[in-house]
Structure 1
Amino acid sequence: MSHPWFEGATRPRVLAHRGLVLPGDAAAGVVENSFAAVAAAHSAGAVYVESDCHLTADGTVVLFHDDDLSRVTGDPRKIADVTVRELESLMAPRGGLITLAQALESFPTLRFNLDVKAADAAAPVGRIVRTHADRVLVTSFSDERRRAALAAADAGDTGIRPATSAGRGTLVRVLAALALRSDRRLSRALSGIDALQVPERNGRVRVVTPRLIAAAQRNGVEVHVWTVNEADDIRRLLAMGVDGIVTDRVDLALSIVCE
């Protein structure tokens, strides 16, 4: 049986990458992964929001992609070196800080795709999402961080763990199994995995192929491609049969899906 994160929602899935920041909002100072960006994605009709998790100096899980503040706020400090109050002040003119707990509580109809960016954040993320596991998918480039978050979730009050997407090591094993044409290795690599969330290419190597899509789907695993913002690319990937698109333009992608 599929995880509730996947159930009752339109396919192909459209995941709002770090929320939604339209040009007018960006001109007003709104940034990705802010409260305003998540709210804008929700208003645009998004069911799924992809975001990232870091831990502040005082132990609060916040939605933030980079491990430092320089690109988003101009402050060179690391997320791990600032308190949540300091971060709230920095983000106030940029759409507002949103913590993981606030995201889950303020947007009860949204389903979250959470990328654990820091090792210290893994267990706190798991503990926070345990009572929301039916609408959370946990992922990370690091399979170790991903598994640590799932272990901390520990089935929670809902009786289930969050859904999960493969880390880099798992993806390497999947691609190796495909190259070897070994269904047994592929099945073993995909055990416990609900989705492969991957770029279309990694440098010169094409990751997303009809063969990968078919093999994953045979094993009950969805393929979601990131980060796809051009209409022609969205249509082409959907025609290939991918299950989901991760995009900065959730408004555009939703309109294409509804064509």
Structure 2
Amino acid sequence: MTFIYGHRGAKGEAPENTLASFQRCLEHGVNRCELDLHLSRDGELMVIHDPTLKRTTGLRGKVQQHDAAELQRYDARLGGPGWISPCPIPRLETLFEQCPFEHWQLEVKSASRVRAARTVQAIATLAERHGLSERVTVTSSSREVLRALQQHAPHLARGLVAEYAWLDPLKVARHYGCNLLALNWTLCTPERQLKAQKAGLHVSVWTVNDAALMRRLADFGVDSLITDFPGLAVSTLRG
């Protein structure tokens, strides 16, 4: 069976990485999600894709230049599907408290060594506090982040996000002791997928928004696919 993960919640149906988006994902019966994390100035894990505020809030500046309390007041529904009510940037803790997902892919973007270590330690602490350490896989394309996971949170599952084919993703995933390989769908050949699965990796493919592609990847036997449209994925794969 191919699992479905909502990409940034249900990015194609509600403003990405907001509580409304994750609730929409759950309404479809999709109880796995993928999201992005950045640290606020005061060290809180905030759910937002970009390091800057511009694209989703229209405001200037970097996420790391604002405290969590400020960030929670900013409306992040810009550029997404039309939405009537404001959608604040959520803390990860808020989602842990309000969204009963059975598995979380938490993507951490590239960071300096110090920032990667701080982010990883914050995730480990929060996951433990909520009893979710077994339900979390921390993913990244950054060597710095994967190294920090090995050093500071070896008990957490980790995954390599692979977007380009310039390096052998399997080799890199093995080097960092990954459990999961998140492949851009253009990199997911049946050969690479089978090789990864034989090496014990869960193969998660992104971002899959076309029904025919969903069916093809499920027929290939991918372990999971990440989609902006969890409702479409449910009707395509489970209908």
Q: What is the TM-score when the length of structure 2 is the normalising length?
A: 0.83
Structure 1 residue runs of 4+, over 6 Å off?
none
Aligned to 1:235: 215
CA RMSD of aligned residues (A): 2.4
Q: Give unpaired runs (5+ residues) of structure 2.
A: 77-84
Residues 1:153 and 2:153 aligned together: yes
The letter for the 1-side match of 2:144 is E
Aligned to 2:75: 91
Aligned to 1:183: none
Contact 1:127–1:153 (8 Å) recurs in 2: no
Residues 1:140 and 2:134 aligned together: no
Aligned to 1:33: 17
1:222 & 1:84 partners in 2: Cα distance?
33
Q: Go from structure 1 to structure 2 and tell me whether the alpha carbon gap of 1:32 and 1:229 turns closer, same or farther (over 3 Å shift).
A: same
Shift in Å, 1:51: 0.2
The letter for the 2-side match of 1:60 is E
Larger Rg: 1
Aligned to 2:126: 128
Q: 2:202 aligns with which of 222, 233, 237?
A: 222
Shift in Å, 1:144: 2.2
Shift in Å, 1:236: 1.6
Contact 2:110–2:140 (8 Å) recurs in 1: no
- Larger deviation: 223-232 or 88-97? 88-97
Contact 1:197–1:223 (8 Å) recurs in 2: yes
Aligned to 1:204: none
Residues 1:249 and 2:229 aligned together: yes
Q: After superposition, what is the alpha-carbon deviation per residue over 1:120-179, rounded to whole angstroms, capped at 9, x for unaligned?
A: 22332232223411110111111321332454335xxxxxx222212559x83445x6xx
Contact 1:137–1:164 (8 Å) recurs in 2: yes
1:136 & 1:190 partners in 2: Cα distance?
20
The letter for the 1-side match of 2:45 is V
1:209 & 1:216 partners in 2: Cα distance?
11
Report SS of the residue matched to 1:198: strand
Q: Go from structure 1 to structure 2 and tell me whether the alpha carbon gap of 1:126 and 1:150 turns closer, same or farther (over 3 Å shift).
A: farther
The letter for the 1-side match of 2:193 is I
The letter for the 2-side match of 1:68 is T
Q: Give unpaired runs (5+ residues) of structure 1.
A: 1-10, 26-30, 155-160, 178-185, 202-206
Aligned residue pairs total: 221
Residues 1:116 and 2:108 aligned together: yes
Aligned to 2:27: 43
Q: Go from structure 1 to structure 2 and tell me whether the alpha carbon gap of 1:152 and 1:103 turns closer, same or farther (over 3 Å shift).
A: farther
Shift in Å, 1:22: 5.5
Shift in Å, 1:241: 2.1
Aligned to 1:8: none
Q: Go from structure 1 to structure 2 and tell me whether the alpha carbon gap of 1:41 and 1:227 turns closer, same or farther (over 3 Å shift).
A: same
Report SS of the residue matched to 1:38: helix
Report SS of the residue matched to 1:233: helix
Report SS of the residue matched to 2:125: helix
The letter for the 2-side match of 1:192 is G
Aligned to 1:16: 6
Q: 2:159 aligns with which of 165, 171, 191?
A: 165
Report SS of the residue matched to 1:137: strand
2:151 & 2:28 partners in 1: Cα distance?
33
Q: After superposition, what is the alpha-carbon deviation per residue over 1:17-76, rounded to whole angstroms, capped at 9, x for unaligned?
A: 0001555x5xxxxx2101111111112111211001101111111111000010001012
